[in-house]
Amino acid sequence: MTLLHIEDLEVSYKTMGGEVKILDGVNLDVDKGEIVGVVGESGSGKSTLGHSIVRLLPYNARLKGKILVDGFDVVKANEKQMYFLRGTSMFMIFQNPLNSLNPVKTVGHQLIETSLIRHQKEGKKIDNDEAYKESLGALKDLRLPDPENIMKRYPHQLSGGQIQRIVIAMSMLLKPKILIADEPTSALDVTVQAQVVKLLKQLNTEIGVSIIFITHDIALSYAISSRILVLYGGQVMEDGPSEDVIKVPLHPYSQGLISSIPSINKREGKLKAIPGNPPSFTDLPKGCRFSPRCEKVMDKCRESVPGLTSKDKRNVRCFLYE
């Protein structure tokens, strides 16, 4: 069952120099219980995609296209509908987890509030004691040591790893249908990273939440997601089952991302970075956005933009497959 349907999504930012289109014709379907990894270098538009789904975009952004979450069109919904949707159907873990918490309220206060909100939205009434027990239970499930003490703390008194787990606890209390996690582990050290990935997977199997996992690290995306969507210069370059994308990447950009994974390629002595830099959105190449950096570039790649070619469960935007 499709829970999220994104069709022909365009997102532009109004700037001093005019309107700059960042996302261009993005399509994405996410099924119930599916984990989709959104991968790309810095500046490819990953966060813009995540923020569009929950419609928490900067004031200068403009959205066009369709984003259907559980039947609601996020592009057209009013603020009241969005408030309901954010609390029930979707939840976003931001790149900086501190942004998800209120600095002047204790962790306990915020978790209890979250629990009360969910029950209220479900039409049930519970008291503060029950909400406290539920919140403490979520922290215990996440194996945070001394949870009673953590409930009394303010966000700034905790470490990055603790805060990220508290934000995950919040999502457990809200039980959303879709969780958008934007680089949730990038500020954490490797061991905590692995724990957070494990927790997200657990959340996926236990409450069946669909997850959109945003990362620049294609290897990490492979570890958690069943499908991978590769973004470059605001367009989808490739989309397919994780196993297929990693083992047989079709797009030269995906091939480049995989050649630069240290753990796989160092042993084989073929570690290679993609030459050059992503394009500037104010000066995009005329043809394929990846053409200036592509090893397999052909004349027509510099002239026109390839469309998405679909085969089996895979989509790729490259003239090599048209």
Total residues at interface with ligand ATP (CB under 6 A): 15
User: Which among 45-53, 75-83, 98-106, 205-213 is the span making contact with ligand ATP, rule CB under 6 A?
Assistant: 45-53
Q: Are 16 and 192 in contact (CB under 8 A)?
A: no
Q: In the complex with ligand ATP, which residue's Cβ is closer, 20 or 305?
A: 20
Q: Which is nearer to ligand ATP, 9 or 116 (CB)?
A: 9
Closest separation in Å from C-beta 204 to ligand ATP: 22
Q: How far is the CB of 46 from ligand ATP (least distance, A)?
A: 4
Distance from C-alpha of 180 to C-alpha of 176, rounded to nearest angstrom: 10
Q: Which of residues 16 and 190 has its CB atom nearest to ligand ATP in the complex?
A: 16
- The H-or-E segment that residue 67 falls in is strand 61-69
**How many angstroms separate the CA atoms of 158 and 139, rounded?**
14
Q: Torsion-angle region of residue 183: left (phi > 0), alpha (psi -120 to 50) or beta? A: left
- What does R_g of the chain's alpha carbons equal in angstroms? 21
Question: Residues 73 to 132: which contact ligand ATP by CB under 6 A?
Answer: none
Stretch that binds ligand ATP, among 42-50, 119-127, 248-256, 306-314 (CB under 6 A): 42-50
Which residue from 242, 240, 295 is spatially nearest to 272, judged by alpha carbons?
295
Specify the stretch interacting with ligand ATP by CB under 6 A; choose among 43-51, 164-172, 218-226, 253-261.
43-51
The label of the residue with tokens 């492979």 reads 222
The residue assigned the tokens 């049930």 is 124
Say whether residue 12 binds ligand ATP (CB under 6 A): no
Sole binder of ligand ATP in the list 24, 35, 39, 43 (CB under 6 A): 43
Which member of 17, 18, 58, 103 binds ligand ATP (CB under 6 A)?
A: 58
216 belongs to the binding site for ligand ATP (CB under 6 A): yes
Q: Residue 12 pairs with which residues in a beta bridge?
A: 21, 62
**Residue span binding ligand ATP (CB under 6 A) among the ranges 35-43, 136-144, 162-170, 187-195:** 35-43
**Shortest separation between residue 218's beta carbon and ligand ATP, angstroms:** 13
Asked whether position 47 contacts ligand ATP by CB under 6 A, the answer is yes
CA-wise closest residue to 161 among 198, 203, 132: 198
| 184 is a contact residue toward ligand ATP (CB under 6 A) | no
Applying CB under 6 A, does 22 fall inside the site for ligand ATP? Answer: yes
Region near ligand ATP per CB under 6 A, out of 36-44, 84-92, 147-155, 165-173: 36-44
Among 2, 15, 157, 310, binds ligand ATP (CB under 6 A): 15
Q: 163-197: string of b/e by CB count within 10 Å (b at 16+)?
A: bbbbbbbbbbbbebbbbbbbbbbebbeeebbebbb
Phi and psi at 226, nearest 5°, equal: -95, -20
235 binding ligand ATP? (CB under 6 A): no
Q: Is 312 left (phi over 0), alpha (psi -120 to 50) or beta?
A: left
Q: Which distant-in-sequence residues (6+ apart) come within 8 Å of 188 by Cβ? A: 160, 161, 164, 196
3-class DSSP assignment, residue 237: strand
- Residue 213 contacts ligand ATP per CB under 6 A: no
Residue 21 near ligand ATP by CB under 6 A: no
Binding site for ligand ATP (CB under 6 A): 13, 15, 22, 40, 42-48, 58, 60, 216, 281
